[in-house]
């Protein structure tokens, strides 16, 4: 039996063993969350050996959280292997406090209460032996809890290890998905055709999963866990969003590229992903060669740059890609659009000379902050500098940090300095946006990379006629299109600005005799390129209005005999305010102005 202590956060679903790879040894998978705080409260005893505890809130700050399920067969050696891995993770973070949190919802093959408690106590004791400031949440209780995970790239990491503490090794021969014998077609359909349904009584009114269901934007199916299905309405929003994103980049002299989703193993070995990121990747075989679905776009973009010669006069070269990437996540942490396995990254790579760093970073900062401003987001910036473990020379790091700091200082913008919190390959600037509920999200990033140009021998010909190593910047604005859309849905509670709304206006006749006039108005709006629906159904007018409000349509045009006689419409906005006597042309001009200005509601 596999050693299966698993750490997870969120709503948990049983995850079957991954079919892509064959492992030489038993394994366990852990998820480690570097958190600003964890707050929990024992509610009710559930296990017969539940520990004594007071029913009060307990808060632990600046902590690495381990949510832990213990399965049959797990023992002290597995516990120690897990803690060793966690201790190594904490050293990289310069963190000293850990909270072991019993969480029994990941597995259907749980150890008995006595065995589970024994393993958890062993983890606690061994963590203390290693000198960690160790806490353990009470065992045997149902608990309420909240967690605020830090926003830096290493805050959430999963690892797969063996009971002897060694990292797993992957065979070069991969297995096909096993066929489950004995299942009828109907039984398979009952699983594969399942679609997630969300209850308005169990979720907050602005939950993006619920709103997506109400507005017919997207859905989630068991046939592809963690991979959202976008419907027609959802694609309208995505395409409008990306249309504006592309416009912003064209104005900033970026060019567009597209690279394959599946790339050869050798490329990932050169980039370092095969060694450092393999357990988060998906694999396949083509003509007896090993390939991987890309978890990042940069190696493909690098091949495009490397495929041509470049002079110092050609730089900077700004290349963007809306690339679909796949990254494995434990099923228990999947959450709507916020945590997925397949997403579109709004990536860009800038290839430049060292003397261009400051100007280029200034341009990226202006592009990102301008984009956020269109949606009314407040934001803050954080500059993270060289960590203790890094690659590159002192001179390279000094030039890179000087370039980023110089860009921020030249703009006169406030920022937080995070000494030693940069990526191992270079310093970075992260952007944290604040939504209408006051929550912060780390979306945009600017990262100077001194690793990839070395690994791929990326050069340009300088003015001196000699080759020089190029400087490379990775940057995103939204980070993940799917996640950013989920943030927008909750930020606006589905009431998108008119330019983003999947349906911009609904025309409703008061009675059947006004249907022809309603259709005429709808045709006028459609001819101007607006997204409009004419509701000529047999439902009552009040029902039609409520239905349009439920779909969060920005404008409802009601037409009756008076409006038909005068050639006007009654315009109702989402606040319930009604304007009478407007002609269709007046409404069209007003709507055009709102769309062009991207006015926020």
Rg, Å, the chain Cα set: 27
C-alpha 405/C-alpha 383 separation (Å) is: 8
C-alpha 492/C-alpha 498 separation (Å) is: 12
* Catalytic, out of 80, 474, 475, 491: 474
* Catalytic, out of 150, 157, 208, 298: 298
Q: Does the annotation mark 3 as catalytic?
A: no
Q: Which two tokens stand for residue 49?
A: 């050996």
Q: Does the annotation mark 443 as catalytic?
A: no
Q: For residue 516, how far is the Cα from the chain centroid?
A: 46
C-alpha 552/C-alpha 498 separation (Å) is: 10
* Catalytic, out of 273, 328, 349, 483: 349
Measured CA distances, 434 to 148, 381, 443 (Å): 14, 12, 10
Phi-psi region of 376 (alpha: psi -120 to 50; beta: other; left: phi over 0): left
Q: Does the annotation mark 326 as catalytic?
A: no
C-alpha 214/C-alpha 552 separation (Å) is: 9
Nearest one of 15, 50, 19 to 120, comparing CA atoms: 50
Q: Does the annotation mark 327 as catalytic?
A: yes
Q: Does the annotation mark 298 as catalytic?
A: yes
* Catalytic, out of 20, 157, 213, 345: 345
Burial class of residue 379 (count of CB atoms within 10 Å of its CB; 0-12, 13-18, 19+): middle
Q: What is the DSSP string of 418-441?
A: ETT-SBTTB-EEEEEEE-TTS-EE
* Catalytic, out of 208, 273, 428, 552: 428
C-alpha 292/C-alpha 283 separation (Å) is: 4
Burial class of residue 54 (count of CB atoms within 10 Å of its CB; 0-12, 13-18, 19+): exposed
Largest Cα–Cα separation, the chain = 86
Q: Does the annotation mark 428 as catalytic?
A: yes
Q: How far apart are the first and last CA of the chain?
A: 57
- Catalytic annotation, residues: 298, 327, 345, 347, 349, 428, 474
């Amino acid at each position: 039996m596999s050693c299966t202590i698993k750490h997870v956060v969120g709503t948990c679903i049983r995850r079957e063993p991954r079919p892509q790879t064959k492992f030489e040894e038993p394994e366990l998978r852990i998820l480690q969350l570097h958190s600003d705080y964890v707050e929990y409260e024992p509610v009710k005893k559930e296990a017969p050996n539940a520990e004594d505890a007071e029913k009060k809130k307990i808060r632990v700050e600046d902590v690495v959280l381990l949510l832990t399920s213990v399965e049959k067969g797990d023992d002290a050696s597995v516990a120690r292997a897990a803690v060793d891995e966690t201790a190594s993770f904490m050293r990289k973070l310069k963190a000293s406090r850990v909270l072991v949190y019993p969480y029994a919802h990941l597995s259907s093959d749980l150890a008995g209460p006595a065995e589970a408690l024994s393993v958890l106590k062993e983890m606690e004791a061994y963590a203390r032996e290693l000198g960690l400031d160790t806490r353990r949440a009470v065992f045997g209780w149902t608990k309420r809890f909240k967690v605020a995970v830090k926003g830096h790239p290493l805050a959430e990491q999963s690892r797969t290890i063996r009971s002897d503490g060694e990292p797993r090794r992957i065979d070069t021969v991969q297995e096909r998905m096993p066929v489950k014998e004995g299942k009828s077609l109907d039984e398979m359909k009952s699983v594969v055709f399942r679609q997630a349904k969300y209850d308005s009584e169990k979720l907050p009114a602005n939950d993006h999963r619920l709103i997506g269901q109400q507005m017919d934007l997207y859905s989630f199916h068991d046939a592809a866990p963690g991979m959202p299905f976008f419907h027609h309405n959802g694609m309208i929003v995505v395409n409008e969003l990306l249309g504006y994103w592309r416009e912003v980049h064209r104005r900033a002299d970026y060019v567009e590229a597209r690279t394959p989703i599946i790339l050869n193993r050798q490329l990932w070995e050169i980039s370092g992903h095969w060694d450092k990121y393999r357990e988060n990747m998906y694999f396949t075989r083509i003509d007896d060669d090993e390939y991987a679905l890309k978890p990042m776009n940069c190696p493909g973009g690098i091949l495009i740059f490397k495929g041509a010669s470049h002079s110092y006069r050609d730089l900077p070269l700004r290349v963007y890609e809306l690339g679909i990437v796949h990254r494995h996540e434990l099923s228990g942490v999947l959450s709507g659009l916020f945590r997925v396995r397949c997403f579109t990254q709004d990536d860009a790579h800038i290839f430049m000379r060292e003397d261009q760093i400051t100007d280029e970073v200034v341009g990226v900062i202006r592009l990102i902050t301008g984009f956020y401003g269109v949606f009314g987001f407040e934001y803050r910036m954080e500059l993270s500098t060289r960590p203790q473990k890094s690659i590159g020379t002192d001179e390279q790091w000094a030039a890179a940090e000087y370039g980023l700091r110089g860009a921020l200082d030249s703009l006169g913008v406030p920022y937080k300095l995070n000494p030693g919190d940069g990526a191992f390959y270079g310093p970075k600037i992260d952007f944290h946006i604040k939504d209408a509920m006051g929550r912060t999200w780390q979306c945009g990033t600017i990262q100077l990379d001194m690793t990839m140009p070395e690994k791929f021998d990326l050069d340009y010909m300088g003015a001196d006629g000699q080759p020089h190593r190029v400087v490379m910047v990775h940057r995103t604005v939204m980070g993940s299109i799917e996640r950013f859309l989920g943030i927008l849905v909750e930020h606006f509670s589905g009431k998108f600005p008119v330019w983003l709304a999947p349906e911009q206006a609904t025309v409703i006749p008061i009675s059947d005799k006004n249907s022809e006039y309603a259709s005429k108005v709808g045709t006028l709006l459609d001819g101007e390129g607006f997204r409009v629906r004419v509701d000529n159904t047999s439902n009552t007018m009040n029902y039609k209005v409520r239905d349009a409000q439920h779909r969060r349509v920005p404008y409802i045009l009601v037409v009756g005999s008076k409006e038909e006689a005068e050639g006007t419409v009654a315009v109702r906005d989402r606040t319930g305010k009604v304007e009478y006597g407007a002609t269709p042309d007046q409404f069209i001009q007003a709507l055009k102005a709102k769309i062009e200005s991207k006015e926020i509601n």
